[in-house]
Amino acid sequence: MDVNEIKNNGGSKVADTSSLDDFIKANHKKKFRFGIIAALLCAVYWGVWYVPGYAVWEMPDFLPAAMVNMENAGYGSDVTYTMACILLCLVNAIIDTLILFIWNGALGKIGELKRTFVEFKAANIYFVYAGICGAGAVFGTYVAAQFLNPGFAAVAGVLYALVGTIMSVLYLHQKVTKRGYIAVVIMIVGAFVLFAGTIFGGAESSNMTLGIIGGAMCAICWGLEGTFAGKALDYCEPDCGIQLRFFWETVLWIIVCVVLAISGVPIFSTMASIVTDPYILLVVILLGFSFAWCYVTWYKSFPFIGVARGQAIGSLYAACSIVFMVLFFGVDNAIGGHDMAHVLPTIGGLIICLFGSYLIATEDAEGLVSLKDDSVMGGE
């Protein structure tokens, strides 16, 4: 073999290597783009979820009737509202579980679902944790929306990106750049504006303490859920993971509601109205569909862009929810009133928190070794 032939062979190998690198980079960008789109769709579906979630409280034969039955049984106003939130959490979890089971069946993933369920230590245990945390987040959202307003509940939930970022460092051992830490500080300021402004701004509430606790619950629990889900998705497929997460949430709420019923709380007294009243059934189905697709896109974004970035982009749901709520129900019902004491804490906290989320979401993706969670914040 002469010198020219050796050079040609060497050049061919270099060209092949360069072509492979280009293919890997192009494939990475394609998957990264898919993850971004999935997270954006999550924000839209999540925002839509607040509309049927508010409308269902206006159906007199369902939650209002259940609350009347509880009051007749001797329970106070705050307790009946809290019990109604638990009932709605159960209904939401059941309809989501059914919709996602049909979804997995249509995708031919029942066998994979069974395998994931059996692999308890490897993956399913994390979805038990995710289901418990998700249940706490949904319950906190309904409590915050009822005892304060839906706008406060939505913006408080944005802080889950803050919790998720902190947990991604402490639990998933991800690297965070200076930009990421700045984003954390900004979101803490946003949290202070929202919560302090709501507390001292004279927001109307029958029990502000419960509303504040509910807002904190949805932020903390959704942040923890994203962390556990991100860990579990290293071992299983996202569609199966979502199914298990809602299955365990449903189990939790069934246990809670059965215990309450045994204790004498008439919590199941109006469940039949869901089937007998077509309007209630329609609202419940819309509630389930919007939340199910929100979770499908949310979980699918994690393997491609990471937990922290997926949560940060998904936090745009708060802006979407306020827009949808104002369009369908007006400003008063969406954020509690027209006056600045109601508007400034909610909108100001939202803008500040979304700016912090923007810093995380636009963290430089170059240098990511994999699309898993180990360098989601950009790393060094």
Per-residue pLDDT tens over the stretch 155-207? 888 888 788 878 877 877 767 677 777 887 888 888 778 777 766 665 666 78
Of the two residues 11 and 282, the one the predictor is more confident about is 282
Full-model pTM: 0.83
Of the two residues 18 and 302, the one the predictor is more confident about is 302
- 193-249 pLDDT, tens digit each: 877 776 666 566 678 889 899 999 998 998 898 888 878 877 788 888 889 899 999
Average pLDDT, the chain: 82
- Sorted by where each begins, the domain ranges of the chain are 38-375
Least confident range from 5-14, 103-112, 346-355: namely 5-14
The CA-atom distances, in angstroms, between 97 and each of 16, 245, 285 are 48, 9, 12
Is the pLDDT at 278 greater than 70? The verdict is yes
Cβ-count burial 223-246 (b if 16+ within 10 Å, e if not): bbbbbbbbbbbeebbbbbbbbbbb
Helix (H, G, I), strand (E, B) or coil at 378: strand
Torsion of CA 157, 162, 167, 169, to 10 degrees: 160
Q: What are the residue ranges of helices labelled H in the chain? A: 3-55, 63-72, 77-106, 110-118, 125-147, 150-158, 160-170, 178-200, 208-232, 238-262, 273-276, 278-305, 307-314, 317-335, 340-361
Interatomic CA distance for residues 17 and 20, integer angstroms:
5
With cut-offs at 50, 70 and 90, classify the pLDDT of residue 31.
Answer: confident
- Spatial CB neighbours of 71, under 8 Å, sequence gap ≥ 6: 77, 80
CA within 13 Å, CB half, 119: 17
Q: Which residue has the tokens 């249940």?
A: 135
Least confident range from 29-33, 74-78, 239-243: namely 29-33
Q: Which residue has the tokens 């949310």?
A: 298
